[in-house]
Structure 1
Amino acid sequence: MAEELAGPGGVVLGVEEEFHLVDLESRNAVPRVPEMLDELAALDADAFAAELKPSIIETNSDPTSSLADLRTDLLRLRRMLSSMAETRGLGVVGAGSVPLVDGSALGITPSPRYERMRDEYQMLAFEQQICGTQVHVDVPDRDAAVAVMQHSAPWLPILLAMSASSPFWQSEDTGYASSRTLAWHRWPTAGPPAPLRDAADYDALIDDLLRSGTMSDPGMVYFDMRPSAHQKTVELRICDASPTVDGVVLIAGLARALVTHGVRAHVEGRPQPQYRPELLRAASWRAARSGMEGDLVDVTGRELVPPSRAVRLLLDHLRDDLEETGDWDEVSELALESLARGSSAARQRQRFGRTGSLESVVDMLVAETRGEVEVETEVPVPEAVAPVLLGAYHPPSYDEAVDHDGHVRATYAWMVSALERIGPGGLLSHEKSRDAEQRARSMFFPQPDDPERLFPLDLIPRLITAHDWEGLSAGLVQRARTLEALLQDLHGERACLRDGILPREALRWLPEPTDASSLIPAGATRALISGLDVVCDGEGRWKVLEDNLRIPSGIAYAMADRRVVRSVLPELQAPEGVVDSDEGPAMLRDALLSCAPPAAGDDPGLVVLTEGPHDSAYFEHAMLAEEMGVPLLEPSGIRITDDGTITVAVTGQRIDVAYRRIDEEKLFAAPDADGRTLRDPLQAAVRENRFALLNTPGNGLVDDKAVYPYIHPLTEYYFGEKPLLDDVTTYFCADPDQLAHVLDNLSTLVLKPVDGYGGAGIVIGRDASAHELEAAAADLRAHPSSYVAQETVEISTHPTFTGTDLAPRVVDLRAFVVLGDSPGVLPTPLTRVAPAGSLVVNSSRGGGSKDTWLLR
């Protein structure tokens, strides 16, 4: 490329794309490139070239400094190639691999070089039915090119994950998003670039490889990034071919930014990054395995991260370089679209899951490569249940996946088809991988008799449609606002008691002026984060079952469920796409910081407070702190300075906001780092509006179950609004008439302690023995105000894997609402699953969980 071509768009770049030719009737890759080359050369002599395989053709874009011009030229070349192919009954596929290959395509293109490679490398040459995307970017010199390689290397696996488009190989699903990478890395000179100092060091390496006979010519340097032997360019080679031009433009824009960043680092004399080559190779393997649907390795941070964080780390790393070239808006938008849409590998699996046809996968790839968005006119829906996994499936009431006639509901049709192909044996194997993933993540929910109990997770996801979630979200926010208004009222005028909307008997206590809850400044949000438990009843309607306003758990477990399922079941991808649960911590952090006291300024200090590793939910505390990028502290990690400032003991950082995940009395009674009891200084800081403790103390006042029956009238009282969500008919046993009804019908009701949590103390009448009912009735007569009773709801069931097949299990949903400046529901609802024959979903009572997919 000529340096003089550089313009205001930035450094000059160009792209080589490789494409498969497929027969449009059989959808097989076919070796018909040679018959097209002369005619293509007549149209553009420099734009097309043969490859090792006669079914693969390469295009070369014109050099340009503009991503817009690059897009135009890529489209021109694709249209030229597709048009000529179609006249011969052929289609063009831009993907790392094509699912179907004609036996005649297994040969090689006749040429002395390719024949020498065939003779020398045998199987490696035969299996190269793969296509990649290469991006060339100008550099000042070859020393700069080598420096760029070193500075870019830790980030290249993320580009591979974005481009992953080769899940199928010779009619089989490989289990990888980029099977091309596996084939490519078998070459002895392929893979991550070695740590090198400069061009002389690079040239010495090439000489050694040539003398060793490992490669037959310098063109066989297949590093993921390499300097050109003849031009002042560096070449990115790690990526799969892309079916969409947007995918290529994204990779090209990121490649140029990496080069710009590396050149600047070289010119400024910055040291090259230090990384373990083995970790970099492992990161490439993980990217090939996961694509954008599983966790990726952050090479610089030496940890496993979700793809959303990996992409954001890359964008943050390159923001200045992208803005300098004017590419930031386009590249960041394309990157976030890539996150939302998922990899091409996932889309191909989705298509196969819906149709069961690899031919339809090829049709989709041909349409995408041609620049069309294919509209599916027909999605097959199974007429009856699947014969193996659902062969004996008999839901007792409303089931979310199977209707009363035993037919799979349309929303779940693709999933049942995909699960059927995996089969019981495959799911058992995936469960072993699940356990290993959970242990690697320390995803424990310890119990007294099992300190290393894994958090129970069933691999079959639950699906919630966009329409259902929209209605649920509106109702959940409304209910959270009502609960917040009630807390404010009870700490103020107590108008609801005065006007008879809420009976005084429904409250176990009322705030006193000296209580910690009465010290909260007026107007401060009290129930910032609420966990509202909802169920789907026997008619498919959502109802609120319980309100949790103290320290509700489940956000991180829902996120971790997603990451584990995504990692061990990459072949399961929803056709509609799934809302990204990784957005939850950012929303939570924003809500917490919105409550910072005025004196905190523009950069409030935020921490998560935990009781410590012995807390059963410690995994969640640690994960949320990490995801929000804030310290995780036990009370002893706090230091109160002489002037009353609350700080992190180790660093001295001021704490303005604390997300409390510890019982308030335990926190107040605990000593700080210097042995000073925290009660007085913390409460003084809260009272003086120097410190926000969230959720605020005393929120249990309104999430006791005796308040539950009055939330609907309170919604109308405070806001003049009709409640958007139903609740369960509930009887407050302190009322004599309601007590009499409960005692007469105890065998058909569910009895709950008003201050109970975790499923403790619940008596389900229909499942209780006569002795249990007699004991419950006696205690109820003695302490009527300590109980409520609810009608037994026929809660919906959901398919759950038993080890041999799928069986219906009762499920609920805990959704997390944040108030603050922008009220909303976190995209991290936790589905909880009851054991066989039970209605109780709590993890401490043997319940499990599911990944919850909010469909787009």
Structure 2
Amino acid sequence: MVTGQRSRFSLPLLGVEEEFLVVDAGNGEVVPQAAAVIARASRRLGARVGGEITKLQVETRTDPCRTIADLEAQLADGRAVSQSAAVSLGLRVIASASPVLGPAVPAPITEGPRQDRGNAAFRGLHDDVATCAVHVHVEEHDRDRAVLISNHLRQHLPVLLALAANSPYWSQRDTGYASWRSVIWQRWPVAGPPPFLTSAAQYDAHVDTLLEAGALVDRGTIFWDVRPSAHKPTLEVRVADVAVTAVDAAALAALVRALVMIAGSAVDSGDEGPALLPEMMRLAYWRAARDGMGGHGVDVLTGRLLPAAALAARLVRLAQPALEETGDHERVQGWLARLASTGDGAARQRAAAARRGRLGDVVDALAAWTAPGLPVREESTLT
């Protein structure tokens, strides 16, 4: 931005949560050893590392960041420390949104009163819950505005899903999908895109209905792919599979923040967002989950089938004014170019398997991509 020029957008803070699977360093199978990894990694990361719903998962978190460079540095640090902690225990962490090897069904759920309530409510849905996502939090203090921004973001969720697709395998089997995690997740009563809502009061009333129906454990278990955070002044976008690399995760976060900024400008002009046909959204989600960036996607406004790359390029063009404002346009364009060259996470996993026909090679590759430059079998230097 030129010095002295008034910014068109405010520049919100953002933060990211990433989930990883813990695997045995020898055979690559998922193992319920997350607590040990968290305990060791917390010596360096403190509250920036924690647990998830299953004993197979580790979650890292960034502090609120103003720049994507700072965010990427924190993402890389969280991955490196977690990987180092895992290796020192004869384990590894991998940035895959679904288990590649090992017994993950039924998932070993962590213990506690909240988990007990979840088991009572959701029952067999918990069997397949060992999946990993990335959650992008964008600063937004006005809850009414957050709900209206969500209306605008709904149309973009299938494209964001395709961009980050990284879960082709499920316990030794190629599912044929780029994002099997998202297919599994659609079974939940509060998953997928949120409904079209026009105020925080309407949002809260809808949540009250879900609570009364027993579809939630508490207000924190709204799993919609975009939602006002239950405990932070943020809008949380949680549609995407965990990214293969910290660089990919940072680029995704940059795009999400830019889309929030564009949507916020529209809201401030009085636009409440498009009303979308639920069946069109369902179709677009399914196609994005199946094809990822390697095929086609559905334009939710017209129903047209278009190349996924064209839908992604159009999304970046929409976000370009905000990306230029934040200085992230070149970063996101570079990400699209890399996706065109190497494929999405699902394509990269399949390419690793194709070299020798071994799924163990996929786990090895994922461990290396998760925290580049670290040994993934030798003794860690973490203290």
**Residue 297 in 1 paired to residue 309 in 2?**
no
Structure 2 partner of 1:36? 37
Q: Which AA in structure 2 matches 1:189?
A: V
Distance 1:310 1:288 in 2: 14
- Look at both structures and tell me which one has the larger radius of gyration over its CA atoms: 1
Show the 5 A alignment for 1:579-594.
none
Provide, for residues 590-642 of structure 1, a one-character-per-residue CA deviation record: whole Å limited to 9, x for no partner: xxxxxxxxxxxxxxxxxxxxxxxxxxxxxxxxxxxxxxxxxxxxxxxxxxxxx
Equivalence map 1:615-694=2 (5 Å): none
Q: Which residue of 1 aligns with 2:137?
A: 136
Q: Secondary structure at the residue paired with 1:222?
A: coil
Q: Is the Cα–Cα contact under 8 Å of residues 108 and 115 in structure 1 kept in the other structure?
A: no
Q: In the TM superposition, what is the alpha-carbon distance from 1:216 to its structure 2 partner? A: 2.1
Counting only pairs closer than 5 Å after superposition, residues 346-425 of structure 1 correspond to structure 2 as 346-372=347-373
Secondary structure of 1:335 counterpart = helix
Cross-structure match for 1:777: none
Q: How far apart in 2 are the matches of 1:170 and 1:315?
A: 34
Please give the secondary structure, in 1, of the residue aligned with 2:93: strand
C-alpha change, 1:330 and 1:285, in structure 2 (3 Å) is same
C-alpha distance in 2 between matches for 1:346 and 1:37: 30
CA distance in 2 between partners of 1:359 and 1:372 (Å): 19
What do residues 654-692 of structure 1 show as CA deviations (whole Å, max 9, x unaligned)?
A: xxxxxxxxxxxxxxxxxxxxxxxxxxxxxxxxxxxxxxx
Are 1:167 and 1:179, in contact at CA under 8 Å, matched by a contact in 2? yes
Query: Partner amino acid for 1:200?
Result: A
- In structure 1, the gaps of 5 or more residues are 1-7, 375-856
* 1:285, distance to aligned residue in structure 2 (A): 1.1
**Contact 1:9 1:326 (8 Å CA) reproduced:** no
Q: Cα deviation per residue 1:424-466 (whole Å; 9 max; x = unaligned)?
A: xxxxxxxxxxxxxxxxxxxxxxxxxxxxxxxxxxxxxxxxxxx
TM-score w.r.t. the length of structure 1 is: 0.42
Match of residue 160 from structure 1:
161
1:287 matched residue in structure 2 = 288
In the alignment, structure 1 residue 272 sits paired with structure 2 residue 273: yes
Secondary structure of 1:234's aligned partner: strand
Once the two structures are superposed, what CA deviation does each residue of 1:93-117 show, in whole Å capped at 9, x if it has no partner?
A: 0111121124698321112111221
Alignment coverage as a number of residue pairs: 367
User: Between Structure 1 and Structure 2, which shows a larger proportion of helix residues?
Assistant: 2
Q: Distance in 2 between matches of 1:97 and 1:247?
A: 17
Which string of whole-angstrom CA distances, capped at 9 and with x for unpartnered residues, describes residues 251-284 of structure 1? 1011101110111111121241132122112111
Which runs of structure 1 show a deviation greater than 4 angstroms over 4 or more consecutive aligned residues? Answer: none
Percent of aligned pairs sharing the same letter: 38
Deviation at 1:350, TM superposition (A): 1.9
Q: Distance in 2 between matches of 1:339 and 1:168?
A: 21
CA contact (8 A) 1:14 1:135 kept: yes
CA distance in 1, matches of 2:65, 2:130: 30
Deviations 1:730-784 (A, max 9, x none): xxxxxxxxxxxxxxxxxxxxxxxxxxxxxxxxxxxxxxxxxxxxxxxxxxxxxxx
Q: Distance in 1 between matches of 2:222 and 2:66?
A: 26
8 Å contact 2:166–2:179 — kept in the other structure? yes
Greater RCO structure (CA 8 Å; 6+ sep): 2
Question: Are the counterparts in 2 of residues 55 and 105 from structure 1 also a CA contact under 8 Å?
Answer: no
Instruction: Give the aligned partner of residue 322 of structure 1.
Output: 323
Q: CA RMSD in A?
A: 1.8
Query: Are 2:117 and 1:116 aligned?
Result: yes
CA distance in 2 between partners of 1:265 and 1:279 (Å): 23
Q: Report the CA distance shift for 1:43/1:286 in structure 2 as closer, same or farther (over 3 A).
A: same
Q: TM-score, normalised to structure 2's length? A: 0.92
Matched with 1:23 is 24
Query: Quick check: 1:331 aligned with 2:328?
Result: no
Q: State the alpha-carbon separation in 1 of the partners of residues 297 and 104 from structure 2.
A: 36
Residue identity opposite 1:17 in structure 2: E
2:293 partner SS:
coil
For residues 380-423 of structure 1, the C-alpha deviation after alignment (integer angstroms, 9 at most, x for no partner) is xxxxxxxxxxxxxxxxxxxxxxxxxxxxxxxxxxxxxxxxxxxx
Look up the match of 2:178.
177
Q: Contact (CA 8 Å) 1:250, 1:335: kept in 2 or not? A: no
Task: Render the CA deviation track for 1:62-87: whole Å, top value 9, x for unaligned.
Answer: 11010000011111111111111101
2:81 aligned partner: 80
Query: Where in structure 2 are there 5+ consecutive unaligned residues?
Result: 1-8, 376-383
How much has 1:148 moved relative to structure 2? 1.2
1:9 Cα offset (Å): 9.6
- 3-state secondary structure, aligned to 1:231: coil
Q: Alignment partner of 2:167: what SS? A: coil
**Distance in 2, Cα, partners of 1:306 & 1:285:** 15
Answer yes or no: is the 8 Å Cα contact 1:185–1:191 preserved in 2. yes
Aligned position for 1:224 = 225
1:110-140 per-residue CA deviation (whole Å, 9 max, x = no partner) reads 1211122123212211211110000000014
* Cα shift at 1:373: 10
CA contact (8 A) 2:145 2:264 kept: yes
How far 1:351 moved relative to its partner?
2.0
Q: Alpha carbons of 1:354 and 1:327: their partners in 2 closer, same or farther (altered >3 Å)?
A: same
Distance in 2, Cα, partners of 1:208 & 1:316? 38
Q: Which residue of 1 aligns with 2:4?
A: none
Instruction: Verify the 8 A CA contact 1:29 1:105 in the aligned structure 2.
Output: no
Helix, strand or coil at the partner of 1:315: helix
Aligned partners of 2:204 and 2:113: how far apart in 1? 25
Q: Which amino acid aligns with 2:53?
A: L
